[in-house]
Structure 1
Amino acid sequence: MIKPLKPKTKPERPFFSSGPCAKRPGWRPDVLNGAFVGRSHRSAEGRERLKLAVTRTRDVLRLPPGYEVAIVPGSDTGAFELAMWNLLGARGVDVFAWDVFGRNWLRDAAAELKLPDLRTFDAEPGHLPDLGKADFARDVLFTWNGTTTGVRVPNADWIAADRDGLVFCDATSALFAEDIDLRKIDVLTYSWQKALGGEGAHGMLVVSPRALARLESYRPPWPVPKLFRLWNADGILRDVFEGVTLNTPSMLCVEDYLDALAWAAEIGGIEATIVRAGANSAALYDWIERTDWAEPLAVDPRTWSHTSVALRFAEPEISGAPESVRLGVMHGMVRRLENEGAAFDIAAYRGMPAGLRIWCGTTVETRDIVALLPWLDWAYAEARSAALRG
C-alpha cells in the first residue's frame, strides 16, 4: 500500500462525535449570556422560558395537530424509559432492535418490566430485523437510526396508519436528519445533545393524541418513580406539556437549546436540517465508494445512516486479521487524528466491529467532512503499517 502524504488542510471544526455532537455553526459561549440563571425555574419568568422551548420545538418539528411536547430528565434514555414505564402493559408489545440502545429497550421490556406478552426481533450489527413481522394490534418499539451501527429504517411505510397499538420511536440520532412521518409515531423521543448539538441530561418526549388517551385511561401494574410519573390521582400532569418539568432543569442548557432551535428555524426549519445531513453523509459515502479499505457497517444501502455513519475495515489483510490487529488499526487512527487536531471521537462504539463512526448530522459542515477524508486515508496507512509490524 502506497502511503499518502500527510494532508495540509484540516477541518475547521474537527468535531465528529456521535454524542454529544458538534454545536451548530457559528456557536459561541456568549450566546448563553441571556440565560435565566440564579432564579427558580418555577418562577413565572422561568416557566415562560421553558414553555418557549416547548412551543419552538412544536413549531420547528411541524407537529401534527394534537401532538404534545414535554421536557423530561435523563436525556433520550430517560425520555424513552419514562414512556415505557408509563405506557406499556396495556396490550402485547413487539420490540425491534439492531443496535446497543435498541437492545437496552428490549432488555428493559423483558427483564425490568417483565412484560408477559412480549415478542422480540433482533438483528446483528449491519442489518435490520424483519420489520414486516410487526403486529400493529400491539405496541411496537424501535429505534429509527441505530447510533452504534449506522443502520436506519428507510421510511415509515411499514407502520400501519390504522394501528390499534402505540408506536414508540427512539429518534435521537435521526430527528432533524431523516424524513420522519410523525403521523405514524405515537411516542417519539430525542435528546438535545444529539439532534441539535445541545448540552446533555435533558430529553424530549413527543406524544400523539392516542398516547395521551392511553395516559388518561391506563395505569401500569408496576411502580413508577416520581421522576418518571406523568400522572397523579387527578389524572395526567397536563402542565408537563406546557414546559413544567418533573425535576430541576439547567436553565443554561435550556438557553443553549433555544439557540439551536432558533438556528434551525433561521436556516429553513426541519426541511433544511434534513438537507444538510444528507449532503454531509453523501460526501462521506461518495468517498467510501472510492476507497478500498473502508465500507459501511450497514449492509443494505437503503439503510445507510445520514448521521452516525459506521465504517468497518474492508481490506482483506486487515479485515481478516486477528481482532487485536483490527483494534490496533482503529486506536492508531483515532490517536493520530486527535494528535493532529483533524478529528475527535470517531472510534467505533464499544462492542461493535473495529472501525470508525463519523457523525454527519445537521450541525456539521459538509466542507469539514470533505477536509476530513484525506486525513482518514493518511491515518489508516500509518496505523495499518504500525499494526502489521506488531
Structure 2
Amino acid sequence: MSTLIAKPDDRPANPNFSSGPCSKRPGWSLDGLSDAPLGRSHRAKPGKAKLAEAIDLTRKVLGVPDDYRIGIVPASDTGAVEMALWSLLGARGVEMLAWESFGSGWVTDVVKQLKLENVRKLEAPYGELPDLGTVDFANDVVFTWNGTTSGVRVPDGDWIPADREGLTICDATSAAFAQDLDFAKLDVVTFSWQKVLGGEAAHGVLILSPRAVERLESYTPAWPLPKIFRLTKGGKLIEGIFRGETINTPSMLCVEDYLDALKWADSLGGLSGLINRADSNLKVLADWVAETPWAEFLAKDPATRSNTSVCLTVVDPDVLALGSDQQAAFAKGMVALLDGEGIAYDIGAYRDAPSGLRIWAGATIETSDLKALTVWLDWAFQTEKAKLAQAA
C-alpha cells in the first residue's frame, strides 16, 4: 500500500516558472496592449515611433551608453548572436567560452559552420566556469554572461581588460534586466525580451559598441551574408536598423508587449529595481536549499550563481545510488507531479543539462510564489521517494 503525502495548503498564485518564454509581469493583461498599431505598416509613422520608443526605453532601463547602437532584429536572441558571429568574426583569432548548452552551440557554429581555424575553446562542465584568467583578449571573445541551462554566470566584467585588442561578443539573454552588465567591457550584447521581461518571443535585440561598428565598417567577411544578417551597405553601418527601421517585419503586438514590460520595469526604478527583485527571489531558493538535504545548486560557487535560471540537482543518497537514467526519471517524476497539480510548469532541467530542476527566478516572478513553491518541491520529492521505497 502506498503512503500518501499530505499536500501543502498554500499554492503559488502564478505557476509559470519556465525559463523561456518566461512569466509575464505581475498584473499583466491583454488590455495593456490595446495601443498596438495593428494592421499598419511598421514603416508608417506610428510603427516607427513605437520601435524607436522601445529602443529608447531599452537604453534607459539597461543604462546603455549613448554611443552604443541598439537594434531590434529577427529570430530572438539566436538571430542576434548569429548576426554578430557571421558579420564580425574572422578578422582575428577567436576565444570561445562555453560552460552550458547555448555557449557550446556557438562553438559549433563558429567551428563547423563558419569553419574558422584560429579558434581556441575554453570549456567547463555544467556548474562551473572556465578559467577566465587564461582568456587571450588579443583575440575576439565570445561568451554567455549567464548560462541559462546551467545556472552559472560570470561574476562581473572585471576579468575583461579595458585595453583589449579583440571584440567581446556577449550573449546576455538571461542576464539582461536582472544582472549588471558592464557595457564598457562589452562590444556586442544580445538578448531576447522573452526572458527577464517575459515578452513575446521571436524578436532579438543587438547592441553594438563603437568598436564593433568600426569593425563592421572596416572588415568584410570571406563568406556571403544572407540579407537578414547584413548590417552594412557600401562599407557603412545601416543606421536605420538602430532607429527602428527593422530588417524584416516585426510583430507590432510583440513590440507593444515589450513596451508594456519596459514601462513596468521603469516604474520599479529601472535596472536596480529589477535586480533587487531577482536577487530576493534567489535568496528564497538559497535559504531553502541551505535547509534542504536532498537539493543542491548545480552552480558550485555562490559568486557565479544565477539569479534568474536557477538550476538544482537532487543529491539525496538513495537517488544518487540509482543509475543516471533512473535519476533523470526521478526528477521528471517530480516535475510531472507539480505540473499535474498546477503548481509549477516547465521546471525540468534543460535536455542537455544534468538531470534536476530549473526554476526561473527573474523579476517577473513574485517572491511569495517562490516561497509557496519550495514547500511543494518538498512534497514532490517526498512523494517520489515514497514510490522508490515501495518499489524496493
In the alignment, the residues of structure 2 paired with residue 195 and residue 231 of structure 1 have an alpha-carbon distance, to the nearest angstrom, of 30
Structure 1 residues 182-331: aligned runs within 5 Å: 182-233=183-234, 235-331=236-332
Q: CA deviation at 1:116?
A: 2.3
User: Is the contact between residue 61 and residue 262 of structure 2 (CA under 8 Å) also seen in structure 1?
Assistant: yes
2: CA distance, partners of 1:387 / 1:352:
24
- Give the whole-Å Cα distance in 2 for the aligned partners of 1:259 and 1:23: 10
> More displaced, 36-45 or 95-104?
36-45
Give, as a single letter, the amino acid of the residue that structure 2 aligns with 1:159: I
Aligned to 2:365: 364
- What is the aligned partner in structure 1 of residue 339 from structure 2? 338
In structure 2, the residue matched to 1:181 is: 182
- Determine the C-alpha separation between the residues in 1 that align with 2:291 and 2:66: 45
- SS of alignment partner, residue 369 of structure 1: helix
Task: Report if the CA contact (8 A) 2:87-2:216 is conserved.
Answer: yes
The residue type equivalent to 1:237 in the other structure is I
Question: Which residue of structure 2 aligns with residue 158 of structure 1?
Answer: 159
Aligned residues of 1:4 and 1:377 also touching (Cα < 8 A): no
- Contact (CA 8 Å) 2:92, 2:166: kept in 1 or not? yes
Give the secondary-structure state (helix, strand or coil) at the position aligned to 1:26.
coil
Equivalence for 1:68: 69
Q: CA, structure 1 residues 335+87, in 2 after alignment: closer, same or farther (shift >3 Å)?
A: same
For each residue in 1:158-202, what CA deviation from the matched residue of structure 2 results, as whole angstroms up to 9, or x when unmatched?
001111111011100011111221111110000011121000000
Distance in 1 (alpha carbons) for counterparts of 2:352 and 2:56? 39
The letter for the 1-side match of 2:165 is: D
Contact 1:178-1:274 at 8 Å conserved across structures: yes
Q: Report how far residue 3 of structure 1 moved.
A: 7.9
SS in 1 for 2:96: strand
Q: What is the CA deviation profile of residues 201-230 of structure 1, one whole-angstrom value per residue up to 9, with x for unaligned ones?
A: 000001111111111111111111111111
Give the secondary structure class of the aligned counterpart of 1:383: helix
Structure 2 SS opposite 1:103 = helix
Quote the residue 2:105 is aligned against. 104
CA displacement 1:138-171 (0-9 Å, x = unmatched): 1111001111011111111100111111101110
Alpha-carbon separation, structure 1, partners of 2:157 and 2:389: 45
Structure-1 residue corresponding to 2:133: 132
Counterpart check, 1:40 vs 2:41: yes
Q: Distance in 2 between matches of 1:37 and 1:234?
A: 35
3-state DSSP of counterpart to 1:188: strand
Equivalent residue for 1:79?
80
Q: Distance in 1 between matches of 2:31 and 2:340?
A: 28
Deviation larger for 251-260 or 174-183: 174-183
Alpha-carbon distance change, 166 to 234 in structure 1, aligned in 2, over 3 angstroms: closer
What SS is found at the alignment partner of 1:95? strand
Query: Identity percentage over the alignment?
Result: 54
Q: State how far apart, in whole Å, the 1-side matches of 2:142 and 2:342 are.
A: 39
Deviates more, 1:182-191 or 1:333-342: 333-342
Give the conservation status (yes or no) of the 8 Å contact 2:175–2:308: yes
Aligned to 2:7: 6
Task: Report the TM-score, using the length of structure 1 for normalisation.
Answer: 0.97
Unaligned runs of 5+ in 2: none
Alignment correspondent of 1:118: 119
Instruction: Name segments (4+ residues, structure 1) moved above 3 Å.
Output: 387-390
Q: Would you say how many aligned residue pairs link Structure 1 and Structure 2?
A: 389
SS at structure 1 position matched to 2:296? strand
- The structural deviation recorded for 1:388 is 5.0
Distance 2:127 2:369 in 1: 26
Contact 1:325/1:387 (CA < 8 Å) preserved in 2? no
Q: Deviations over 1:339-373 (max 9, x none)?
A: 11111110011021111000001111111110101
What is the RMSD computed on CA atoms of the aligned residues?
A: 1.3
SS in 2 for 1:23: coil
**Deviation of the 1:52 alpha carbon:** 1.0
> 1:385 & 1:290 partners in 2: Cα distance?
20
> C-alpha separation between the residues in 2 aligned to 1:197 and 1:387?
37
Secondary structure of the 1:141 match is strand
The Cα offsets for residues 272-307 of structure 1, whole Å up to 9 and x where unpaired, read as 101110000111011001001010111122111111
Superposition deviation, residue 234 in structure 1: 5.5
Which secondary structure does the structure 1 equivalent of 2:326 belong to? helix
Tell me the secondary structure at the aligned position of residue 252 of structure 1.
Answer: helix
Gaps of 5+ in 1: none
8 Å CA contact 2:199–2:254 kept in 1: the answer is yes
Question: Does 2:60 align with 1:59?
Answer: yes
Q: Distance in 2 between matches of 1:79 and 1:85?
A: 10
Q: Is the 8 A contact 2:80 2:204 kept in 1?
A: yes
Shift of 1:235: 2.0
